[in-house]
Structure 1
Amino acid sequence: MRVSVRINGRRCEADVEPRTLLSDFIRHEAGLTGTHVGCEQGVCGACTVQLDGEPARSCLMLAVQADGRELRTVEGLADGETPHPLQSAFEQTHALQCGFCTPGMLMTLDALLRRRPDAGEAEVRAALGGNLCRCTGYAAIVEAVRLAQEEG
C-alpha cells in the first residue's frame, strides 16, 4: 500500500505492507531513528510521536492509519541547530541517563505544554504516567519541565 505522511514538515511516501507499524515506517522508510521501540505493546512510551499534534504510540499504529496526516518526531523539536527548550532543560537538569525513554517523554511533554503552558507538577506527572524510565526516576524530569516553562 502507498502511504504518504508529512513528517516534521516534509512529505515521506513509501510502498509498505499493510501490517507495517508506524514506528517501523518512521525508522526504516523515513530514516528517523530518534523514535525508539521498547516494549512493542504501548506500555513504555519510548515510541511516542505526535500525530496531528497529539501524542500517539507509534508501535500501536499501522503506517496506513497515518496516511495523509501530520506527524512530528523528536527530530522535529529543535529549530535547526537550536534545541527546543525542553531539550535544553533536560540537559541542564540531567533529566536523562541512557536516553532511551527521552524522545517519547519529550514528545509527550511538548504536547502537554502546548495545551497547558502553565501545567503544574501534578499534571506533568500525570502526563508522564505512560512513559517509563528505568534510569533517572522522575524528579529531574519534572524539574526540567519547570525550567523549560520558565525559559520557554
Structure 2
Amino acid sequence: MSGGETNDRRRGSGLARRWEGLNPTRAIVLAVVVSVIALTLAVPLRTYFSQRSQFEQVEASNSQLEEQVADYQRKVQNQDDPAYVKAQARSRLNFVMPGDKPLVLEHPQPPTPSPDQQKAMREAANPWYSNLLQSIATPAGS
C-alpha cells in the first residue's frame, strides 16, 4: 500500500466514526434547528419576491402613464397653435375660410343588386360544402 491510500482510509474511517458516534437526539435537534431556520427565511424571501414583482408591474404602469401624459401635453400644445386649430376646424367641422368656395361631394347610393345577383352573392358567401349539398339536393331543372 502507498502512503496516499492509507490517508484516504484514515479519512474515510474518521468520517464513518463521526456518523457512528452521532447521537440520535443531537441529529433530531440539528434537523429541527435547520428546519426552523429554513422556515424563518422562507416567508421573508417569498415576501421579497412578491413585492419585487409588484414593483416591476408598478414601474411598467408608471412608464405607460408617463407616455400618456406626454401625448396629452403635445395635444394641449397643438391647441395653442392657430394653424393646427384652423386645420382641425376645416377637416372636422367643414369650416371654410372667407374667400374659399365650399365643395361638398355627395356619394350616390350604389344600385341595388337584382335578385339573381343577390342569390349569387349568398351562394358565394356560403362554405363550399353547403353549395355542394345544395346542388345535390336541388333538381337540375329548377
Measured against the shorter chain, the TM-score band is under 0.3
- Comparing both structures, which one devotes a greater share of its residues to strand? 1
Q: Which has the higher contact order (CA 8 A, sep 6+)?
A: 1
- Comparing both structures, which one devotes a greater share of its residues to helix? 2
In our comparison, the structure showing a higher alpha carbon Rg is: 2
TM-score, normalization: structure 2? Answer: 0.18
TM-score, normalization: structure 1? Answer: 0.17
